[in-house]
Amino acid sequence: MSSSDRLKGASPTRRAALALMFGATVAVAGCQVRPLYGTLGTPGGSPALSEKLARIDIDPVETASSRDLDRVGQVLRNELIFGFRRGREAGEPAYRLKILIDRPLNEVGVERLADVPSAYTVTVNATYVLSDIATGRTLETGRAFGTASFDFSSQRFANLRAERDAEDRAAKTVARDIQTRLAGFFATRG
């Protein structure tokens, strides 16, 4: 008995399942897997993704509120510079990245008897715009955020240090998110 004879004798449900499996196999066969940060150049001789990321010039981070967030903005900018260039010298910049941040602070826990906050959550919100330096045209815009929490105690210095550490963790999360989004943008753009 041949496979076509077996298929003719199969129930309609079985034939539908086999057709679905065949269609899925054909669809998956057309997929490609490429390393996102690999050194392979894209077809046509355009630069590799890591070279494109290294050519992004990052402006000093601006703040949306009256709070002094220069330190948080600098942490974010430094993380992006290292993430894009990996310690290498950058070539002539081809893209400009502008970032605007805000940092709300929320109480997430209150001590029962003292009615004093026992924990806070720091959120770093960032809005970014990637543009082409030569044309000034906007290529990509987006929003990213990072959240970190810290415990509040009766010691003033410990609270300041814990808040600063939480801000740093949140800023690093935002930097990784922006880096991944821009790498995805360049990878799909070719």
| Half-sphere exposure of residue 131: CA atoms within 13 angstroms, side-chain side | 12
pTM of the model: 0.72
pLDDT per residue as tens, the chain (190 positions):
455 555 555 677 777 777 777 766 655 555 555 555 554 444 444 457 888 899 999 999 988 775 678 889 999 999 999 999 887 777 789 999 999 999 887 777 666 665 666 788 999 999 999 999 999 999 999 999 999 998 888 888 988 999 999 999 999 999 999 999 999 998 887 6
Q: How far apart are CA 135 and CA 138, in angstroms?
A: 9
